[in-house]
Every structure is written in C-alpha cells, then in structure tokens.
A and B are shown apart, each in its own frame.
Chain A
Amino acid sequence: MKIQITNGRVINPATDTDMVQDVFIAAGKIVGLGQGPERFGANRVVDARGKIVAPGLVDMAARLREPGFEYLATLESEMFAATVGGVTSLSCPPDTDPPLDEPGLVEMLKHRAKGRNQTNVYPLGALTQQLQGQRLTEMGELRDAGCVAFSQANSPLADTQVLARAMEYAATFGFSVWLQPRDAHLGKNGVAHDGEVATRLGLPAVPTCSETIAISTIVHLMRHTGARVHLCRLSSAAGVELVRAAKVEGLPLTCDVSINHLHLSEHDLGYFNSNCHLIPPLRSTRDRDALRAGLADGTVDALVSDHSPVDDNGKQVPFENSETGATGLELLLPLVLKWAREDKIPLPQALARVTCDPARILGVAGGQLSLGSNADLCIFDAEREWVVTPQSLKSQGKNTPFINLPLLGKASHTIVGGFLIYEDARA
C-alpha cells in the first residue's frame, strides 16, 4: 500500500520541524517528505489541507481490561477507540485479572492484539506475582514474551525490602521499573486530596506526603540499586520538585501525568462527581499548575490518557465506593491540544509529550515522522469541535470528568505500519 498525504502541516516533534509538505508512505515506512520517490504511484492520496500530520500518539497508560474484565471493555472496543483517538502505540498496565505476571498471559494478549493491522500494544509485566508485593515475577521470561517494563500498577509496594530487591533484579537486566508513587499506608482508604474539598465533602483523604514519601523512597533506592524508574501519574507540586531534583542529580528517572490531572483539580469533584474518583486523587489548583509547568519544561516527560474504562455500575454509587478511573484514549489528542493552546506551548513541543518522549521511555519505535521511520501517524483537524458524549466515544468506557464538554481537535485518519486503519467518514 502506497499512500501520499498532500498539503498537510507536517509536525515532527523529535526534530522540531513544522512545515507544509507531502508525506510518502510505502511498505510500512516513510519513504519521502516533501519530495516523493520517483514514479511513486500512490494507491491512495489523502488530502490533508488545513490539517496537521503528526506521528501517531504513544499512550503510556491505557487499560484494555483484558483478560478478566471483558464486561467493562474488550480488546476490540478499546483498540478501536485508540485508532479513533489517533493513538498508534500504547502500553497497558498489568492489573488485569489474572494480572500479567506470567509469560503465557502476555503472549496471549500480544497475539490477540496483533490480529489485524492496528495500534501497537506494549504490555507492562507485573513487578511482583499477583501484584501482591511479595515475590518477584520472572521478568526475563516476561520480557521475552513482549513486556517492555515492569509495574505494580496501582498497588503500592508496602515492603521496602521487596521493592529494593525488585529494583535490583530489574537493574540486573536493564529493565525499567514503573511505579505509581503512593505510600501503602498513608491515606490508605483515601479517595480525595487531603484539602478543603475532602474536608467539606467528608471524604477520606490522601495527603500529598503519601506521594512525596514514596518518591523519596524510590529515589533513595535508585541510588542504591542503579535501577531505571518511571513514575506513573504524578499529582503534586511537591512531587514535581522531587523529580526535578533527581533529574538534576542525573538519576535515570522519568515520569508522566494524566490528562485528568493536567486539566482538573479537587474542585472538579463538585458534589461527589464519581467521574473524578481517580488514582492518585485530583489535588489543588496549585498542584495542577505545577504539573502543567513541569510538563512544559520537560520535568514531566509524558502525558498519558490513563484510560480506564468503568461502567455505570461502577460509578453510580456513592463516591467512596465508586470504581476509580476514567476513559481517555479518545481524549488524549484534544486535551494535549487544549493544554498547548491555554499555556501557549508550541505544537511540536506539546506533541512531543505524547509522541517521541513516551516512545523514548518505552524504548520502542514510533513517535517519529522522519525519513525511514515506521509509518505510524495520525492526521487531525486541531480546530474541529466535538462534544464528549456516550455516543461520540467509541470506547466501552463512557465515564470521564469531561463528559458533555466540547473539545477541539479530532483525528480524521490514523495510519499504522503503513495501513490506513481509520478514516473519519465525515472529515
């Protein structure tokens, strides 16, 4: 399949290029920029006039809910949501049922995901068996089965000794350890930020020091073990400061923030809006602003959807009992654009946080739009307005704090491995 994309504004964040030029795709690769190969003979010409042509988005956190939670979502529904959202690569946390703690499960997932030409799936292996924080998993075997890194998902590792050993063992092979920084005890039953809103609503709270203590512990253990660590879902200004200091020190530490935490704060809980029940909790506006600044200056490396489909049964219950998480795959693009617009971040820099930067952390191809790179890309209209509704979302998860809000920016075409796998009929 040969595709020629004409007249689009082509942005390659990795090289900070931003210019109108044609893109030529053949055999799954980018074979020409501006100038195509002689006698190219495209099978398909896509007119991208007025649109942006960018690398497909790389989402470091998207729950596909398989195996185990097929009633919430299936691989089919969520991978389709990814393509509609312009996401061409994603990594999924190991908190399935059973958790991704043995090679067979990972192989099955990879196999199921590979069925057609569609979004690349990079599973994260469980760091400990059953995610219980006691015994290490067979990380080598899991890596051979396709895991790109090892994670505890949202279960904090209470035993510091086990954490140290898990990091040491991972470091032996150069594997990266992904941790959601949260103390296992502080704010254990908490569901909201320890501040004014939780006090008003009478909700059990999670203090900020639950995050900072965990980061401090991890940073000390990084010095001790030499492990590479990625921190998942930062939530506080103090957390950003600790990461900044660790990076200045030269430690191999990276981190991400979710679209929800980038745009929302504790005040969005309103009167018990369970769509805002997230891990970690939405914190103060000051924290949110620090996360935005951190993402802009690169202290925070990546923006993720933290896609977690939850059904109404999980959300239509009192806040404390509600399931955590929100749908996000289709919101990553409009919400990175919203951030860029509001904080006046140049588009190449903003898009880097959802393309080349996460690809670098994952250690995978993708996130590039250069001569010779994989033809994973998306074409989008940055100005197209759409309203987030249960009908407009393709994911089986319809719950998000952004429900019923208008957003700008929607993919019109998604290309993976040189195949046009999604095309918006209306675009």
Chain B
Amino acid sequence: MNGNPQLNSDGKLQHLLTIEGLPKPILFHILDTAKSFEHVAQQEIKKVPHLQGKSVFNLFFEPSTRTRTTFEIAAKRLSADVINLNVSDSSQSKGETLLDTVDNLSAMQADMFVVRHAESGAAHLIANHVSSGIHVINAGDGRHAHPTQALLDMYTIRNFKGRFENLKVAIVGDVLHSRVARSQIHALTTLGVPEVRVIGPKTLMPRDVEKLGVRVFHDMMLGLKDVDVVIMLRLQNERMNGALLPSRDEYFKYYGLTPDKLARAKPDAIVMHPGPMNRGVEIDSEVADGAQSVILSQVTFGIAVRMAVMSILSGK
C-alpha cells in the first residue's frame, strides 16, 4: 500500500497513476508513441488492432464528458471493447464499496480500468487491489493527479515548441484544488523545463508548493513576463464566492487571461487550458479564440496520447 505500484519489477509501466516518479525516458516513450498514432485519425478506417479482444472499463465515479469521451475514442481506435460505467448513479449509491465494485468488474474479465474519482488516492487504492493482469489508468483523482491530461499538454507543448529545455511555462489559477496542475508540474520538471511558474492568489496556492520545483507568483503581470507557454486552470463555481475568493469579477480582474496580460508573455507564446473553460472568469474569449490559443489542439492530441498510454500498458 505504501509503494508506487505503477512500475513493475522490470521498470515497465504497469499502471499510470501519477506523473510523479516516472522517469524521463518513459514520458518521452509515451509522447513518441502518441506521435505514431496521430495518423490513425487521418485514415479512412480509424482503427488499429493493438487492443483487439481486450475489455476496457471506463469507471467514472465523477461526471466527465471530455476525458471519458476521448478515452472511449482512444480505446475504440485501438479495437478494444469499451464499457462505460457512471458509477456515481449506480452501485455506489446502493452502498457498494469502491473495491467491491472493482472486484465485480474484475470478475467480468476486465483488462483495463480507466478511473475517475473525487477522492485523491482512489486510483492507487484500486491499482494496489487488482490482480496483476489488470492495468489501471488514473483519469483524475481528487486534487491529486491527472496524468493523461498532463501528458497531452506535454504533447501539445512539444508539438508547438519543439523541445522543453529552453522554455518558461506559467500555470495560472487554482493550483490548490487542481490535479491537472500537480501532474503538469511533475511532467514539466521531469522533461527538463528550466522554469515552471505558478500564479494565483495565496488562498489558491498549496503550502510548500515551491518544493515541487516551481516559482510562485501572486502578480500575474510579473509572472507572465517572457513565458513561452501559458496554462490556464479552471476555476470551479463553488470556489468563486466565499472565503477563498470574494467574487468572479475580482478574480478575473487579477487572474483572468486578457489580451493585455498575455502581451507580457513572449509574442509567440501559446495559451492552453485543460477545459472546460469558464469564459470571462479565468480566460477572456478574445484570448480563448485567439491566434495564440491551442486549446482545441489539446483535445485532438488527447486521443493519440491516450491511445499511446493504453497500448504501452497492454505491452504493445
């Protein structure tokens, strides 16, 4: 229960639970493999046989549209059988425990679980529990990790910037509650990005975040200066009015990405967002739809990256 179970004894990927602790060659291997899958979407028959005969269970304990859909598309393009389960409205509400649900699905000969859960650590718990033939992909657990999102973001950065070693990257917004930010930070630092910045008010910054290898800024105008990549984080509705923030308007004033703030970044900086966006809260529509935005590319790349992760896990 204590160990990091995502690498097997040969150092190969057994599960994908978090970016933390993954060696750089594995990250590049995933990105390279994803590149090799990019063509599948251009083919007339958008399928390859890598996961033929395998059952992939999308186990979503928390609602999601984009992530679940792209996982489903990725698995289907790999020729897997995909079963979607929105557990939030079935067995869990009947009192079944998380691991009982997993045991039942394992008994249906599942090969892979794609898990989204509201609690940090849920994917680790499942990975520690399933038998060795089953692979677990964390599709987001609480505030902890969202590794495939971070990987597709790295893919996007590599696609537009070519390399990582000369970049300044800023992550802006609610870092405290963001599993995406945590995974991005680990991915960026592992891939050799020399300067990762996080920008936000103190109420949305976790303690000791600089120990993850980032510089902390509270002034967005300073934090965006000369960066190559701006990653905006989603601000959830329930955080907007209360003791964390006074209002969405004030948040937008100080931490919303507007054209004038973006002008502080390098002229060729790209703007990213894991979605779903709150226009007018963390990002101005003019920026979201502007020339520097690569937000829709992220979604497209998400399929290839998830195909790569699934095929690597299944040993292909």
Residue ID in chain A nearest B127 by CB atoms: A271
Chain B residues with CB under 8 A of A270: 1-3
Question: Any chain B CB within 8 A of the CB of A320?
Answer: yes
Question: Any chain B CB within 8 A of the CB of A140?
Answer: no
Residues 112-159 of B contacting A (Cβ, < 8 Å): 117, 119-122, 124-125, 129, 141-145
Chain B residues with CB under 8 A of A89: none
From B124, B142, B143, B182, A271 is in contact (CB under 8 Å) with B124
Residues 283-325 of A contacting B (Cβ, < 8 Å): 313, 316-321
Are the C-beta atoms of A272 and B124 separated by less than 8 Å?
A: yes
Distance A319 CA – B124 CA, assembled complex (angstroms): 10
- Chain A proximity mask over B98-109: 1 for CB below 8 Å, otherwise 0: 110000000000
Question: Any chain A CB within 8 A of the CB of B316?
Answer: no
Distance A270 CA – B208 CA, assembled complex (angstroms): 17
Least distance between A171 CB and chain B CB atoms (Å): 36
Question: Any chain A CB within 8 A of the CB of B90?
Answer: no
Are the C-beta atoms of B119 and A201 separated by less than 8 Å?
A: no
Question: Any chain B CB within 8 A of the CB of A205?
Answer: yes
Distance A199 CA – B179 CA, assembled complex (angstroms): 10
Are the C-beta atoms of A318 and B122 separated by less than 8 Å?
A: yes
Question: Any chain A CB within 8 A of the CB of B212?
Answer: yes
Given A272-B120, A272-B124, A318-B121: A201 and B144 interface contact (C-beta under 8 Å):
yes
Give the interface segment out of A48-56, A105-113, A190-198, A418-426: A190-198
Are the C-beta atoms of B119 and A195 separated by less than 8 Å?
A: no
Chain A residues with CB under 8 A of B1: 270-275
Given A196-B211, A202-B179, A272-B121: A318 and B97 interface contact (C-beta under 8 Å):
no
Given A202-B120, A313-B97: A271 and B2 interface contact (C-beta under 8 Å):
yes
- Chain B proximity mask over A260-274: 1 for CB below 8 Å, otherwise 0: 000000001011111
Are the C-beta atoms of B121 and A199 separated by less than 8 Å?
A: no
Are the C-beta atoms of A318 and B142 separated by less than 8 Å?
A: yes
Residues 1-34 of B contacting A (Cβ, < 8 Å): 1-5, 17, 20
Residue ID in chain A nearest B145 by CB atoms: A202
Are the C-beta atoms of B2 and A202 separated by less than 8 Å?
A: no
Residues 204-221 of B contacting A (Cβ, < 8 Å): 206-209, 211-212
Least distance between B174 CB and chain A CB atoms (Å): 12
Question: Any chain B CB within 8 A of the CB of A382?
Answer: no
Total residues of chain B contacting the partner, CB 8 A: 31
Least distance between A256 CB and chain B CB atoms (Å): 27
Question: Any chain B CB within 8 A of the CB of A242?
Answer: no
From A203, A204, A272, A313, B125 is in contact (CB under 8 Å) with A272
From A196, A207, A275, A319, B119 is in contact (CB under 8 Å) with A319
Residue ID in chain A nearest B21 by CB atoms: A271
Are the C-beta atoms of B212 and A200 separated by less than 8 Å?
A: yes
Distance A195 CA – B206 CA, assembled complex (angstroms): 8
Residues 381-412 of A contacting B (Cβ, < 8 Å): none
Given A201-B144, A202-B182, A273-B1: A320 and B121 interface contact (C-beta under 8 Å):
yes
Distance A201 CA – B123 CA, assembled complex (angstroms): 12
Chain A residues with CB under 8 A of B212: 199-200
Least distance between A222 CB and chain B CB atoms (Å): 30
- Chain A proximity mask over B150-172: 1 for CB below 8 Å, otherwise 0: 00000000000000000000000
Least distance between B93 CB and chain A CB atoms (Å): 15
From A199, A271, A274, B208 is in contact (CB under 8 Å) with A199
Distance A274 CA – B98 CA, assembled complex (angstroms): 15
Least distance between A271 CB and chain B CB atoms (Å): 5
Are the C-beta atoms of B182 and A318 separated by less than 8 Å?
A: no
Least distance between B200 CB and chain A CB atoms (Å): 14
Least distance between A394 CB and chain B CB atoms (Å): 22
- Chain B proximity mask over A363-383: 1 for CB below 8 Å, otherwise 0: 000000000000000000000
Residues 67-82 of B contacting A (Cβ, < 8 Å): none
Residue ID in chain B nearest A195 by CB atoms: B208
From A199, A204, A205, A318, B98 is in contact (CB under 8 Å) with A318
Are the C-beta atoms of A316 and B97 separated by less than 8 Å?
A: yes
Distance A40 CA – B3 CA, assembled complex (angstroms): 58
Chain B residues with CB under 8 A of A313: 97
Chain B residues with CB under 8 A of A204: 143
Chain B residues with CB under 8 A of A272: 1, 120-121, 124-125
Are the C-beta atoms of A316 and B144 separated by less than 8 Å?
A: no
Distance A194 CA – B208 CA, assembled complex (angstroms): 8
Q: Which B residues have a C-beta under 8 Å from some C-beta of A? A: 1-5, 17, 20, 97-99, 117, 119-122, 124-125, 129, 141-145, 179, 182, 206-209, 211-212
Q: Which A residues have a C-beta under 8 Å from some C-beta of B? A: 194-196, 198-205, 207, 268, 270-275, 313, 316-321
